[in-house]
Amino acid sequence: MPDAAIDPLWAENPDMELGMSFYLGYPLVWPDGEVFGTICVLDSRDNQKAIAYQDLIFQFKKVIDTDLKMLVEIDMRKQTQKDLQRAHTELEKRVESA
């Protein structure tokens, strides 16, 4: 968005009060599709460097999305390990009492 001041959808954005009228950004999302945040460039003027590096910013977005996915997978693995350990402990108790 080279000039958010001309877009009615941006008129109520709090960043407009700070003079930030240039916006280039991408949503960062959890694996379930929920938005985590954004990676973005805000500026008080047209930012040609951000536009020139738009593809690089998008690549950063993809890396962060992948990291979020890995965090979820690590948490799931840890939970699975805990569940397996509990089941193993319960099985040992049953064998001992038999």
Q: In sequence order, what are the residues at sequence separation of 6 or more whose Cβ sits closer than 8 angstroms to the Cβ of residue 15?
A: 4, 23, 42
Q: What local confidence, expressed as pLDDT, does residue 64 receive? A: 96
- pTM over the 0.85 mark: no
Residue 1's pLDDT is 66
Beta strands at 22-29 and 35-43: parallel, antiparallel or unpaired: antiparallel
pLDDT on residue 7 = 77
Residues of the chain with pLDDT under 50: none
Q: Helices marked H in the chain — which ranges?
A: 14-17, 48-52, 54-97
| CA–CA dist 36, 30 (Å, integer) | 6
* Burial class of residue 64 (count of CB atoms within 10 Å of its CB; 0-12, 13-18, 19+): middle
